[in-house]
Amino acid sequence: MAAAVLDEIAAMAYAAYPLEGCGLLVGTPGTTTAVVERFVRCRNTVESARVYTVDPLDHLHAERAAEDDGFEIIGVVHSHTHSEPYPSATDVAQAPDPSWHYVIVGLKRAAPEFRDYRIADGDVTELPITVV
């Protein structure tokens, strides 16, 4: 993932604060490594500090634009405003696709913290984020 993408994700999280912000990752999927081409900021339709729901219209637009460019939606991003950047029970229960990357940006500390997870059948596995 490019440093500029991480900067966009952090900007989204701070702009949404004190609510949770969210968006989608667009790129090329991979069995061991995915390549993130861009981040698409989306509206959190529940406007909550504890949960998020990606606006379906934003998702549709992001998916169409990704397909037009030869990419896919490969994951979702959301912020945790006051807790660790680890999937909550709600995050795990609502994870729609086991092949997706679930990136959480934590705002609990002075600097944003980014973590990437795969969530499949209730199991959470952390993956490294490589900045290029």
Q: Enumerate domains of the chain plus CATH numbers.
A: 3-127 (3.40.140.10)
Confidence of residue 31 (pLDDT cuts 50, 70, 90): low
Region label for 70, one of left (φ > 0), alpha (ψ between -120 and 50) or beta (otherwise): left
Cis before 112? omega within 30? no
The predicted pLDDT at position 81 comes to 95
Shortest CA distance to 99 belongs to which of 121, 67, 115, 69? Answer: 121
pLDDT in tens, 87-126: 999 999 999 899 999 999 999 999 999 999 999 999 999 9
Question: How much of the chain is helix, strand and coil, in % rounded to 5?
Answer: 25, 35, 40
Residue 32 has pLDDT above 70, yes or no: no
Region 68-85 average pLDDT: 96
**Share above pLDDT 70 across residues of the chain, in percent, rounded to a whole number:** 98
Average pLDDT, whole number, for the chain? 95
End-to-end CA distance of the chain: 6
What is the rounded distance in angstroms from the CA atom of residue 26 to the CA atom of residue 20? 20
